[in-house]
């Protein structure tokens, strides 16, 4: 009888592990155009801001190519929430424009050239 109980216990434990493995979270990677990202400060600001967003696993910003790569859990968030998060940090993300209040709080170097920001043309590398 004792052996039968142990066999049943191991059987249920094995089924539980199998079901847990099937419920693994799906992770997607998205590349988002962030044309207003201009410097290392912008990069750090977005990466820090997005690291606190629910469902975001990792964020890499390439400010030279103006692309942000985000890995996220599809069961916790979606691409539109991520774009909105970047916009709330003060930057344009694909078709979502930056939050005006957040944009105004950005340092001058992180603002658009037409707003007096951006890199100084004398310091810009060709």
Extents of the domains making up the chain: 27-114
pLDDT recorded at residue 122? 45
Q: Looking at the predicted structure, is the pLDDT value of residue 5 above 70?
A: no
Mean of the per-residue pLDDT values for the chain? Answer: 83
So what CATH class is 27-114?
alpha beta
Task: Read off the pLDDT band of 113 (50, 70, 90).
Answer: confident
Q: Is 85 exposed, middle or buried (0-12, 13-18, 19+ CB in 10 A)?
A: buried
Global pTM value: 0.73
pLDDT in tens, 36-95: 999 999 999 999 999 999 999 999 999 999 999 999 999 999 999 999 999 999 999 999
CA atoms within 13 A on the CB side of 64: 3
């Amino acid at each position: 009888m004792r052996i039968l109980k142990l066999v049943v216990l191991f059987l249920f434990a094995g089924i539980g592990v199998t079901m847990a493995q099937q419920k693994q979270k799906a992770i997607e990677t998205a590349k988002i155009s962030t044309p207003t990202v201009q410097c290392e400060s912008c990069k750090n600001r977005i990466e820090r801001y997005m690291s606190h967003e629910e469902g975001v696993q990792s964020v890499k910003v390439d400010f030279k190519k103006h692309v942000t790569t985000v890995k996220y859990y599809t069961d916790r968030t979606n691409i539109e929430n991520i774009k909105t998060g970047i916009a709330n940090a003060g930057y344009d993300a694909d078709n979502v424009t930056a939050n005006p209040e957040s944009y105004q709080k950005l340092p001058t170097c992180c603002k658009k050239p037409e707003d007096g920001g951006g890199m100084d043309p004398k310091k810009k590398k060709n």
